[in-house]
């Protein structure tokens, strides 16, 4: 049975698999539909840094052959997008930075290899803030991605390209990375579901390093069921990443329909910050009321060290990125200024190759690690990080999960971000503490905020105890089924027939 390109573009993973299994569409037809949508619409959305039509069609043909031979996997023939912080063999890995322009990695991330083995189709690499340092994709060295719900606005960051691709139906689902909120924040602003797994749940091997004790790969999908499918595909211990844990990987779908009746959920009062946009606060409180109506017991509680999260994060992350980015020296790979002396070449290469935000954070991290300041800044930050983690430990002794807003403000107009870096860093104030604690959290669509006459998506963050991804996906699924707002897709023209 023939399916229109627009109809195929609107599919979830589980809907696409149903059509593929019933032979109502082939992987080649599905992939062609997505490539056609990218050709027609991505000139306006600008989600992709690199599109790979030849690779995608070859993988789709191989998927159809595998299915004809009797093979079946949850992702066989499903077109996905990969954030450009994650290496994929045969495609550039630039981290949206000029210093890595044209770099072709001779390897690929463990998560990508797992998807390849399952027969997934890779449409291309998505835009990101440079080295994942940003909130809007505006720090990308190449271009800014646009929010499909209002093309004049940012989609969030740093995984803005992946979130915009899923929201605009330019991929069935995507992978992003989350260091301080880079999956959850753009998911909240694009009406998608974005999961930051527990630290150690998904291998970081093959991810361009930002802050090694914080980075995590996470799925961005249209609904919670898809998120469960994609997370199960990439999760698990990896001998190449010593930080991955030997926790068993189950079928995250099995608990999705369990509902929330009888659950105890906490609403951290520190997350309802002063200055939060009133429409966002209203949407979050309505979501809490909805969960209560479904049978959950929701009560306000406290995470007292939340206020320390932002300074701790920017010290710890800055110190780690300062060390990780030292490898970009113009000698071994990537951009080289070609200066006569080694030290001058090093200075010019990094001066030309890194953007202003990356330079700012390198300076901050290097200062925190310098002689005479290590104990005063970095070491103290790590001690306070322990207190933040203990807040969550105490909370999960009393609650099954926590529910909170993701971002205190709606997506801003491109080019109108706050000029004060500290004010801009406050965009991450509600996602940073969970990153520091290493706990899993998922942003799920909860409603829309009315801003300047535009209805813009609002996400709610469900936070769980370590390795309780199944629990938070269950809550996210219950909430999205109750609200139904995830089904409201953006209108983009020209639409494909």
The residues annotated as belonging to the active site are 83, 158, 182
Short-list 69, 173, 169, 165, CA closest to 121: 173
Give the separation between CA 47 and CA 177, rounded to whole angstroms.
15
The Cα 197–Cα 434 span in angstroms is 10
Distance between CA atoms of residues 228 and 197, nearest Å = 11
Do the beta carbons of residue 238 and residue 203 sit within 8 Å? yes
First vs last C-alpha separation in the chain:
15
Instruction: Output the six-digit token pair for 105.
Output: 């990695």
Q: In degrees rounded to 5, what are phi and psi of residue 56?
A: -60, -45
d(CA 478, CA 488): 17
Q: Is 333 helix (H, G, I), strand (E, B) or coil?
A: coil
Phi, psi of 43 (to 5 degrees): -65, -20
Q: Is the peptide bond before 494 cis (omega within 30 degrees of 0)?
A: yes
223 and 259 Cβ atoms separated by less than 8 Å: no
Q: H or E element: which one contains 475?
A: helix 469-483
Q: Which helix (H) or strand (E) holds 402?
A: strand 401-405
DSSP secondary structure of 409-457: SPPPBTT-S-SSHHHHHGGGTTTHHHHHHT--EEEEEEEEEEETTEEEE
What is the Cα gyration radius of the chain? 21
Please count the other Cβ atoms lying within 10 Å of the Cβ belonging to residue 191.
29
Compute the CA torsion angle 371, 311, 395, 244 (nearest 10 deg). Answer: -60
Which residue in 302, 316, 231 sits closest to 269, CA to CA? 302
HSE-CB of 352 using CA atoms within 13 angstroms = 17
CA distance 341 to 474: 58
Count of beta carbons in the 10 Å neighbourhood of residue 273: 15
If phi over 0 gives left and psi between -120 and 50 gives alpha, with beta otherwise, what is residue 73?
beta
Do 129 and 171 touch, CB atoms closer than 8 A? no
**Residue count (the chain):** 497
């Amino acid at each position: 049975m023939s399916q229109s390109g627009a109809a195929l573009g609107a599919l979830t993973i589980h809907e696409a698999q149903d059509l593929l299994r019933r032979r109502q569409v082939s992987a080649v037809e599905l992939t062609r539909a997505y490539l056609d949508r990218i050709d027609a619409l991505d000139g306006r959305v600008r989600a992709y840094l690199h599109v790979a039509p030849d690779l995608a069609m070859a993988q789709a043909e191989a998927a159809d052959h595998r299915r004809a031979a009797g093979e079946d996997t949850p992702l066989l023939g499903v077109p996905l997008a990969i954030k450009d912080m994650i290496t994929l063999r045969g495609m550039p890995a630039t981290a949206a930075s000029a210093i890595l322009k044209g770099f072709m990695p001779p390897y690929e991330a463990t998560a990508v290899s797992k998807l390849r083995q399952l027969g997934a189709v890779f449409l291309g690499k998505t835009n990101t803030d440079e080295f994942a340092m940003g909130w809007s994709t505006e720090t990308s060295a190449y271009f800014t991605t646009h929010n499909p719900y209002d093309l004049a606005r940012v989609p969030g960051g740093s995984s803005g390209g992946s979130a915009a691709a899923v929201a605009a139906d330019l991929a069935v689902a995507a992978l992003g990375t989350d260091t301080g909120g880079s999956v959850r924040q753009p998911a909240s602003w694009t009406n998608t579901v974005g999961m930051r797994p527990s630290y150690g749940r998904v291998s970081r091997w093959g991810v361009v390093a930002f802050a090694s004790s914080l980075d995590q790969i996470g799925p961005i999908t249209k609904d919670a069921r898809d998120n469960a499918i994609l997370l199960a595909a990439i999760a698990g211990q990896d001998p190449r990443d010593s930080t991955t844990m030997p926790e068993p990987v189950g079928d995250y779908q099995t608990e999705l329909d369990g509902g929330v009746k009888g659950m105890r959920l906490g609403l951290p009062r520190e997350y309802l910050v002063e200055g939060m946009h009133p429409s966002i606060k209203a949407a979050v409180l309505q979501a809490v009321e909805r969960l209560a109506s479904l049978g959950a017991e929701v009560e306000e509680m406290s995470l007292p060290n939340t206020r320390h999260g932002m300074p701790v994060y920017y010290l710890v992350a800055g110190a780690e990125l300062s060390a990780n980015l030292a490898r970009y020296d113009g000698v071994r790979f990537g951009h080289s200024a070609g200066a006569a002396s080694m030290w001058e070449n090093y200075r010019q290469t990094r001066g030309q190759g890194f953007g202003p935000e990356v330079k700012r954070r390198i300076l901050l991290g290097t200062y925190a690690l310098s002689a005479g300041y290590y104990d005063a800044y970095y070491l103290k930050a790590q001690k306070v990080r322990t207190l933040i983690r203990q807040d969550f430990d105490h909370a999960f002794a009393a609650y099954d999960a926590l529910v909170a807003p993701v971002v205190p403000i709606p997506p801003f107009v491109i080019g109108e971000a706050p000029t004060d870096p500290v004010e801009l860093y406050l965009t991450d104030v509600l996602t940073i503490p969970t990153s520091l604690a290493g706990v899993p959290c998922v942003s799920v669509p909860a409603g829309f905020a009315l801003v300047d006459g535009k209805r813009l998506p609002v996400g709610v963050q469900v936070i769980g105890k370590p390795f309780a991804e199944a629990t938070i996906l269950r809550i996210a699924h219950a909430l999205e089924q109750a609200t139904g707002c995830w089904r409201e897709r953006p209108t983009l023209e020209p639409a494909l027939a």
